[in-house]
Amino acid sequence: MPRVVLAMSGGVDSSIAAHLLLEQGHDVTGVFMDHGQTSPARGTATCPADQELGRSAAAASRDAQLVADQLGIPLDVIDFRAEFQQIIDYFVSEYTSGRTPNPCIVCNQRIKFGKLFDYADRIGAAFVATGHYARIGCGADGTPSLRRGIDVRKDQSYALFGIRRELLPRILFPIGEYKKPQIRALATDLKLRVADQRDSQEICFINNDDYIAFIAALRPPGDASGEMITTDGTLVGRHDGIEGFTIGQRKGLGIALGQPRYVVRIEADSRRVVLGTRHELARAWLTASGANWHRDPSVLPGTCLAQIRYMAPAVQARITVLPDQRFRIDFDRPQIGIAPGQAVVCYAGDQVLGGGWID
């Protein structure tokens, strides 16, 4: 039987992934990745995390162990606190630089499909599996390809673009062929204690989803306040720190201007937040760096479907590959809320071509 290392969070998705792998005849070893943090109590769909709302890492570990015991598989708890600290440092640095980070993508790239592969190699496992809603398919050239999950409302392929393509043949996504109600029904039939566990869509290392207070406690000391101006230079208010804002934001600006205004630019050096109209927010193109392509860039199609946020629809666009792992996306129609620091992911139908970080 092929040996599989499965990332188990104690949530319903990874628990059913374990069950499905066993049904398929795999020798499953569960791994709980201990980051030492407390998961949040509520959130804003920043990124999908397979953890119950409001649980500590210790409670999540206990749930994972109970599920592993019920299914009859071993569970190893691995200390990833140092690796998670690097992600926290990235998160704080990006926000205090006027960018909008996506820690889930970085975690997937560096830990779940990075360090976890190192562990799999040490124990002789052929595959690494997770409870992500995504699929591994077959590309036109016969090589494995990353594809959207069947459940379009839960699809997590956007957050997986950073996986190195040479790893795709060793990755399994057991629940990618299912929709969420089917996963819950399976958990109920199996009488898993996590069957009714609520989904979490928050940043797993931040309590109560208060990321502004989290950053304020970790950023360099000193005055972080600055001006809020309109695009014509009019001073309309002040703020306590640029980490409280992201491109495209309309709510929570703390000022009333009589008509809707959006964050159209964040100037990190001067700590200015620039507000404008929805029309001023629209952008026809973007550039991105840190490209990770799942095809050779020389054979990429000239057009694609480009997705600029986790919950955003993918829209028609054109790709131009640039030197130094950079590329340009030109949209058929201008897009609203293109935020530096977020990822842009390119698709051909439901297949991930690759992506990069918006500059």
Residues acting as catalytic residues: 107, 204
For residues 19 and 358, give the distance between their C-alpha atoms in angstroms, rounded to a whole number.
Answer: 38
Distances (CA, A) of 174 to 20, 138, 155, 289: 6, 16, 13, 31
Q: Which of 101, 74, 77 is nearest to 89 (CA)?
A: 101
* Sign of the dihedral defined by the CA atoms of residues 101, 104, 107, 110, in that order: negative
Nearest-angstrom CA–CA distance, 107 and 55:
19
